[in-house]
Amino acid sequence: MKKQTSEHHANQALLSQLDQIAQGIGETFAPFCEVVVHDLLDPKHAILSIHNNLSGREVGAPATELGLARIADPEYPQVIANYANRFADGRRAKSTSVGIKDAQGRYVAALCLNIDLNLFSQMQSMLAQFCQTGNVEIRETLDPANAEAIREQIDKFATSRSRIPQALKASERRQLLNELKDGGYLEIRKAMSIIAEHIGVSRATLYNDVKP
């Protein structure tokens, strides 16, 4: 009896801490993500808490099929991430379920995240509409002539060394400048300013790099 009481207290403490985690995740990713804590020791009333309720379920609702599968099989995968799902009203969702085990290896709880993909689809549509340009055949750029070509060469150089431009060492910057010079890119107007800005150093540093 004492052992069962001790296990019960331990599980209750675990569920309490899990709910705090769920609250933190829910507040961080509101309003896009519903976070649900399931008490798998009470499958008929499994839902312990819901943060950002997007599914319309209620606290005390029974365990889902996935929850029942975990209860039946301790070897059931502990983390199932990013699987396709739908809310009751048909909205598309992306879900992740994390099973929580006790010291004996039994599933006692689950933390589930359900992300409303419809919200992101709407945002994506609005952004796509905003980024559309008209059909008028006018080409204009606010970028200095050939500046993008210089940036592309810098990015290729950095990528070939598994770095970002801002992480290039002095010796690598010297090699980069030599390659840009050989390619004629240093002849472009304001080339050194463009290079310095893109790799995050001052022009004085660049001029020092090209010194023999």
* DSSP letter for each residue of 174-186: HHHHHHHHHTTGG
115 lies in the same domain as 51: yes
State the CATH number of the domain containing residue 105: 3.30.450.20
Tokens of 188: 């472009």
pLDDT of residue 50: 97
3-state secondary structure at position 92: strand
Whole-prediction pTM = 0.61
pLDDT of residue 136: 56
Quote the CA–CA distance of 132 and 115 in Å, as a whole number.
27
Quote the CA–CA distance of 197 and 143 in Å, as a whole number.
13
pLDDT of residue 160: 87
157 lies in the same domain as 95: no
Phi, psi of 198 (to 5 degrees): -75, -30
Structural domain span for residue 172: 147-209
pLDDT of residue 205: 87
| Residue ranges of the chain with per-residue pLDDT less than 70 | 1-6, 133-145, 212
pLDDT of residue 88: 83
Burial 147-184 (b: 16+ CB within 10 A, else e): beebbebbeebbeeeeeebeebeeebbbebbeebeeee
- Token pair 């399931």: residue: 38
Counting the structural domains of the chain, the total is 2
113 lies in the same domain as 15: yes
